[in-house]
Chains A and B, each alone.
Chain A
């Protein structure tokens, strides 16, 4: 189950994460974000030992969104060793997320 991170835990949970980390930026009442949730849960299960999934609610942590140039949700940012190595904007299908993960593995 993906944990919600905020600006206080972002550094330890995302930037210092040992695994490829997917940060799901979402907002309350955003329908495509709601639809993406089960897709990401599936991905998390499929790559259980390879990735880490975290969620960032932009209603509360707008600063993080600004910092990473996220201006629309949902947006998935892929972090490795503290850097953004890929991103997917908007609602995406499971296969698109998998293929980014496969490429980064």
Chain B
């Protein structure tokens, strides 16, 4: 029986592991991808994590992981398929059939890229449709691409792609961007970026590979000829496993305050999966610490 099982190995989960080891809790980190460090690994550069200015997201994640490992954190590669409530805690079922018993859970499963949910998206995935500009940008040297979205990621992707692509469209459903001012200024100063605003994508089409993006703008159907489509419309919380167990917000986040306590006794939510105004590495790391304080208090109150 574990004192706590940490689900997820992003910054929140790894921070929780560090605090759990220092609190001498019997714990294990369950991770879907071996050696993972969560979404931060995909960030080209992190300029707002205190003390480690300019570090790549990948390197930052590796540092977090090395820290957790240095304290003796155990990792288990597997996907959680169910969390079952029991009299003295929870039973965590994994995709390999294993079941682990624990008194408490730190749920730090993070979030995944949101899908556009249009016809052709699945069919052309890896054939012109991508969710990672820094991974696949090189395929579109001197070609035409569309970036869908209006936040920091979308505009950052568009700028990255504009370095090598012939032309980059930014397709956004509103007439204004959510992205920060600096990015917006850089986009408007980039000649080969064209904005397609108030436009809703309806279909991705092609034969062997992606050839066009159909959309509706101002009530009219339009077609953009593109070689690639990068989808950057935010993330969705990986909270499905807790459905029916802990209260979720309308958009699927696990409802919990700074103490990370959810509506389910002994389950604490940390990181991007928790309802919070600012999703950052710094707030995920803070959640990791707070969740373990809550776990410790819970175990003391409920007899360790």
Residues of A within 8 A of B (CB): 27-35, 38, 58-59, 62, 65, 69, 71-73, 75, 89-91, 93
Decide yes or no whether B122 CB sits under 8 A from chain A: no
Rounded to whole Å, the gap between the CB of B157 and the closest CB of chain A is: 13
Rounded to whole Å, the gap between the CB of A24 and the closest CB of chain B is: 14
Residues of B122-157 at the interface with A, using a CB-CB cut-off of 8 Å, are 125-128, 130, 132, 134-139, 141
Contact assessment for A31 and B41 in the assembled complex, using a CB-CB cutoff below 8 Å: yes
- Number of B interface residues at 8 Å Cβ cutoff, please give it: 25
A35 to B57, CA, bound (A): 14
Cross-interface CB contact of B44 among A29, A34, A65, A73, cutoff 8 Å: A29
Contact assessment for A62 and B139 in the assembled complex, using a CB-CB cutoff below 8 Å: yes
A72 to B135, CA, bound (A): 7
With A29-B134, A62-B139, A62-B141 as contacts: A71 and B128 at CB distance below 8 Å: yes
Contact assessment for A27 and B136 in the assembled complex, using a CB-CB cutoff below 8 Å: yes
A31 to B44, CA, bound (A): 10
A32-B132, A35-B33, A71-B136 known; 18 new pairs, CB 8 Å cut-off, are A27-B137, A28-B138, A29-B134, A30-B135, A31-B42, A31-B132, A31-B134, A32-B135, A33-B135, A35-B36, A38-B35, A62-B138, A65-B139, A69-B208, A71-B127, A73-B135, A75-B126, A89-B126
Contacts of B126 in A (CB 8 A): 71-72, 75, 89-90
Which partner residue on chain B sits nearest A26 by CB separation?
B135
A58 to B136, CA, bound (A): 9
Which partner residue on chain A sits nearest B127 by CB separation?
A71
Q: Give the residue among B36, B57, B138 with the most A Cβ atoms within 10 A.
A: B138
With A35-B35, A69-B208 as contacts: A58 and B58 at CB distance below 8 Å: no
Contacts of B132 in A (CB 8 A): 30-32
Contacts of B76 in A (CB 8 A): none
A57 to B139, CA, bound (A): 11
Contact assessment for A93 and B42 in the assembled complex, using a CB-CB cutoff below 8 Å: no
Rounded to whole Å, the gap between the CB of A36 and the closest CB of chain B is: 10
A27 to B139, CA, bound (A): 9
With A62-B141, A69-B208, A71-B209 as contacts: A27 and B128 at CB distance below 8 Å: no
Contacts of A91 in B (CB 8 A): 33
Contacts of B44 in A (CB 8 A): 29
Contacts of A93 in B (CB 8 A): 34
Contacts of A58 in B (CB 8 A): 138-139
Residues of B within 8 A of A (CB): 33-36, 41-42, 44, 57-58, 125-128, 130, 132, 134-139, 141, 208-209, 228
Contact assessment for B136 and A73 in the assembled complex, using a CB-CB cutoff below 8 Å: yes
A59 to B130, CA, bound (A): 17
Contacts of A72 in B (CB 8 A): 125-127, 130, 135-136, 139
Contacts of B135 in A (CB 8 A): 27, 29-33, 72-73
Which partner residue on chain A sits nearest B210 by CB separation?
A71
Rounded to whole Å, the gap between the CB of B58 and the closest CB of chain A is: 6
Which partner residue on chain B sits nearest A90 by CB separation?
B126
Contacts of A69 in B (CB 8 A): 127, 208-209
| A-B residue pairs in contact (CB < 8 Å), sample of 5 | A27-B136, A30-B135, A35-B36, A69-B127, A71-B136
A93 to B78, CA, bound (A): 11
Rounded to whole Å, the gap between the CB of A96 and the closest CB of chain B is: 13
A38 to B139, CA, bound (A): 24
Contacts of B36 in A (CB 8 A): 35
Contacts of A73 in B (CB 8 A): 135-136
A58 to B138, CA, bound (A): 7
Contacts of B136 in A (CB 8 A): 27, 30, 71-73
A73 to B211, CA, bound (A): 19
